[in-house]
Amino acid sequence: MKTEKILLAVTVLATAALARFRFVSFAGAVPAAGARVLGVAATDFDNGEQAGVNTHGELLVEAGAAIAAGVEVETDASGRAITKNTGIAFGVARDAATAAGDVIRVLR
């Protein structure tokens, strides 16, 4: 079982439904692919709720594809971590993901 070490968490008004372990934009929505990310939703939130977002530490994030440990990650269009390509890096994968849906630790 993986654990996380949250160093900083903030709240943001959810402007869309947010899923636990997925990235959240600064606007409180699911970010666009490769966009800058505020952090990771602490749990599931409905539109209009104050959402807890973990921003710094060793955070649990759902992978959107296979990821090697030690690579920088960015968001896909569903708010899941993928290997950084042309987008803005969120952090560094601490674990490898073998497939979409795996939950990995990301350092930020």
Do 72 and 102 fall within a single domain?
yes
Percent of the chain with pLDDT over 90: 99
Do 50 and 71 fall within a single domain?
no
**Residue 74: pLDDT over 90:** yes
Range of the domain at 85: 60-107
Do 10 and 50 fall within a single domain?
yes
Separation between Cα atoms, residue 72 and residue 81, nearest integer Å: 9
Separation between Cα atoms, residue 15 and residue 47, nearest integer Å: 5
State mean pLDDT over 16-22: 98
**Residue 1: pLDDT over 90:** no
Q: Which of 19, 34, 56 is the last residue of a domain?
A: 56
SS3 state of residue 40: strand
Do 39 and 71 fall within a single domain?
no
Do 79 and 38 fall within a single domain?
no
The neighbour count for residue 36, using CB atoms within 10 Å, is 15
**pLDDT, tens digit, for every residue of 24-73?**
999 999 999 999 999 999 999 999 999 999 999 999 999 999 999 999 99
State mean pLDDT over 98-104: 98
SS3 state of residue 6: strand
What does pLDDT average to over the chain?
98
Give the total number of structural domains in the chain: 2
Radius of gyration (C-alpha) of the chain in whole angstroms = 12
Percent of the chain with pLDDT over 70: 100
Do 65 and 96 fall within a single domain?
yes
State mean pLDDT over 59-88: 98
